Amino acid sequence: MDATLTEVVKHCSEQLAAYSECVERNPLDWNEKCEKQRKGLTLCAENNVASLRRVKEACAEAIAAYDTCVSQNTTDPEQCMDALRALHTCTERAAGRRPGNASTPDATTPATTTPSAP
């Protein structure tokens, strides 16, 4: 996912900045007030980042579930952590990477710990 974000920043930094600023200015109703900026960022990313297009196709169901959750929980987005984990897992798999690590366990793989040396 980091590589995809790097590509989005590379190709769509103006749109990403506009969307981020809008969300920060509108913490309670960003989902409504920032629609124009979100659409601009989405269009730019879809047109310029091939890996994102592949992920969107492979993870359409997880994306829709997360979008629905966020829309229904604009004042409490933490309610969407399970949907976000599922989306993360899907995107990592679609990108050909193994999902989950100790800092961000996914919904299907338990986190493992390595014993420390004495």
Residue 109 maps to a domain: no
Helix (H) or strand (E) holding 5: helix 2-25
Residue 118 maps to a domain: no
Q: What is the full per-residue pLDDT of the chain (118 aa) written as tens digits?
A: 577 788 999 999 999 999 999 999 999 999 899 999 999 999 999 999 988 888 889 999 999 999 999 999 988 989 999 999 999 999 888 877 765 543 333 333 333 333 333 3
Interaxial angle between packed helices 81-94 and 60-72, expressed in degrees from 0 to 180 and rounded to the nearest 10: 160
Beta-carbon contacts of 56 under 8 Å, excluding residues fewer than 6 positions away, are: 46, 63
Residue 70 maps to a domain: yes
For residue 63, which of 86, 31, 46, 30 has the smallest C-alpha distance? 86
Residue 117 maps to a domain: no
Where in the sequence is the domain holding 36, given as residue range(s)? Answer: 2-94
Domain count, the chain: 1
